[in-house]
Amino acid sequence: MTDDPDTGRIGLVCFQLAMIAALLAASALVARSAHAGTATIGRTWPIIEPDALAEIEAKLASLPPDLAPRFGPRSNWTALQAASLGAARMARRRMVVPFYTLDTEIRLPDGRLLYPKGYSFNPLRYVALPQRLVIVHARELGWALRTAAPTDWILLAAGKDGGVSHPDPIALGEKIGRPLFLLEERVKQRLALTVAPVIVRQVGQTLVLDESPPDAGRPGAGR
């Protein structure tokens, strides 16, 4: 592990954001394996590829210990700028099917076409979100902590209507003792998010979005 706490925490946040993106935006590979997978008969061997987190930690350990100050205040880092959402004014429930469309064709090793470019599918047919996403502005963090289960992920959105424009998930996470994540623009688009607070949960092959002001009770209580 790196001796620089800022660099280590930044690497962890980036890794965790990559996990969210993998679940919500890069599920085409999962669908591909689900369609094209075949039974394996015969001997098998353990996977020998290095652990992804170990590779990240090794890379961080090789960086200079004073790397973070070279980039200036974290508030100016583009990697730590969340997508912006409006404020929820009323309780509302919406359903979203996050269809994914391939931007390139997929072929088998022998050259045969497996999926053409433009093929669309619902990734929720093949993957399941193991937790809810509780998406709030920084000013609603107290409400999120009271609402979110220990396994839920809390995502911070950039605020409007006088809210904090670019919340710092590292500083806030250290303050409350719980990992926090930033809402990425591509996740916002994939989930058709417009306001916060909102709780996103999977029901079958559909995402249920419960939007509600923080003083209107707990949305999604019927989970």
pLDDT tens across 112-147, in order?
999 999 999 998 998 888 899 999 998 888 999 999
Q: Is 51 exposed, middle or buried (0-12, 13-18, 19+ CB in 10 A)?
A: exposed
Residue 29 pLDDT > 50: no
Residue 46 pLDDT > 80: no
Please compute the mean of the pLDDT values over residues 86-112 and round it to a whole number.
91
Q: Is 111 exposed, middle or buried (0-12, 13-18, 19+ CB in 10 A)?
A: exposed
Compute the distance between CA of residue 97 and CA of residue 124 in angstroms, rounded to an integer: 8
**Does the predicted model carry a pTM greater than 0.85?**
no
Q: So what's the pLDDT on residue 72?
A: 63
User: By three-state DSSP, how is residue 119 classified?
Assistant: coil
For residue 131, which of 210, 223, 67 has the smallest C-alpha distance? 223
Tokens read off for 120: 């669309």
- H or E segment to which residue 82 belongs: none
Provide the residue ranges of all domains of the chain, joining segments of one domain with +: 5-38+49-211
E strand spans, 20-127: 86-87, 92-96, 100-101, 106-107, 113-115, 120-121
Q: So what's the pLDDT on residue 63?
A: 78
Residue 166 pLDDT > 50: yes
Please compute the mean of the pLDDT values over residues 39-57 and round it to a whole number.
77
pLDDT tens across 67-78, in order?
667 766 655 665
For residue 135, which of 97, 177, 184 has the smallest C-alpha distance? 184
